[in-house]
Amino acid sequence: MLMFNETEEKAVEKAVEKAIAALADMIPLEAMQPPCSPALTFPGLEIKLHQRRVLKNGTDIPLTRLEYGALCYLAASPGRVFTKAQIFEAVWSMESESCQSSVANVICNLRKKIEPDSGKPTYIKTVLGVGYKFASGE
């Protein structure tokens, strides 16, 4: 601990203030970005990202790791079409050699759990010959 008399203390305070002011001019400050939304919300469906929960009309829907990953991947970009290979690589975190049936099975199971009528899906749409896209459920 350093001890200063009153005159020295004031001189040190002024020196520190000048140093802080000089550094503040030299350090670029970036605008803070708000945190990403903690939830993806669609009519009748809510994905609480920070809690790893999916609610269908307010009721918790238990999903496997792969089902949850596929849902989040698609729902994060509504309307965008993804190939089965893109979904496989993103969710399984590996190269897509023969991913066709794996992705189709996960999407089928996911539809049974989240769709009002899995035979007529409103959230996860098939794009024939390409893959899948997430619709907002409207």
CATH number, domain 39-134, options 2.30.42.10, 1.10.10.10, 3.40.50.720, 3.40.718.10? 1.10.10.10
**For position 19, what pLDDT does the model report?**
60
Instruction: Please report, as a single letter, which amino acid is at residue 22.
Output: A
Q: Which residue in 55, 54, 92, 60 sits closest to 72, CA to CA?
A: 54
Residue numbers in the chain where pLDDT is lower than 50: 29, 31
| Residue 134: other Cβ atoms inside 10 A | 24
Instruction: Please report, as a single letter, which amino acid is at residue 117.
Output: D
pTM listed for this prediction = 0.71
Instruction: Tell whether the torsion through CA atoms of 107, 112, 113 and 114 is positive or negative.
Output: positive
Instruction: Tell whether the torsion through CA atoms of 122, 102, 49 and 75 is positive or negative.
Output: negative
- For the chain, the structural domain boundaries read 39-134
Task: Report how far residue 86's alpha carbon sits from residue 66's, in angstroms, rounded to the nearest whole number.
Answer: 14
The per-residue pLDDT for range 48-69, each reduced to its tens digit, is 999 999 999 999 999 999 999 9
Q: 108-118 burial by CB neighbour count: b if 16+ within 10 A, else e?
A: ebbbeebbeee
